[in-house]
Amino acid sequence: MKRLVTKWKRWFQGSDSPALGRSPAQQRTLDQAGENLTLFFFPSCPFCRKVLREIEHMQLTIECRNIRQDVGARDALKAGGGRTTVPCLLISEGEQVQWLYESSDIVRFLRAWSASVLSG
């Protein structure tokens, strides 16, 4: 749901044009690469809001799962990450899965990840 809202917001605000110095092709590349990322969060968490603001600022399309509204998301977080602490970024690269906690670490990862994806 968040992914759809983010895409709609970008279209409505005219952000599909070169935002943050990106071409539409670069944005599509980031959108496709973002399919391997999932953020587990809940809205009242200030650390989650920090990460969500950065995702919006960077105009990333990442699946966001609210563990307060989606019991399946909470269960997946507990089963995969071993705890229900949020924010948590699930990074899936083929068979490898990484659960990244701590808002500052997630923001650092997203910045480095987006630069890496765009550099080829």
Helix (H), strand (E) at residue 66: strand 63-66
- Among left, alpha and beta (phi > 0; psi -120 to 50; other), residue 28 is alpha
Q: What angle do CA 117, 67, 110 make, to 5 degrees?
A: 15
pLDDT at residue 77, as a whole number: 98
Domain limits of the chain?
Answer: 25-119
Is 59 or 21 the better-scoring residue by pLDDT? 59
Pairing of strands 96-101, 88-93: antiparallel
Look at the domain 25-119 and name its fold: Glutaredoxin (3.40.30)
pLDDT at residue 115, as a whole number: 93
Pairing of strands 88-93, 37-41: antiparallel
Mean pLDDT, rounded, for 79-95:
95
Share the mean pLDDT of the chain.
87
Q: What angle do CA 53, 75, 3 make, to 5 degrees?
A: 35
pLDDT at residue 120, as a whole number: 76
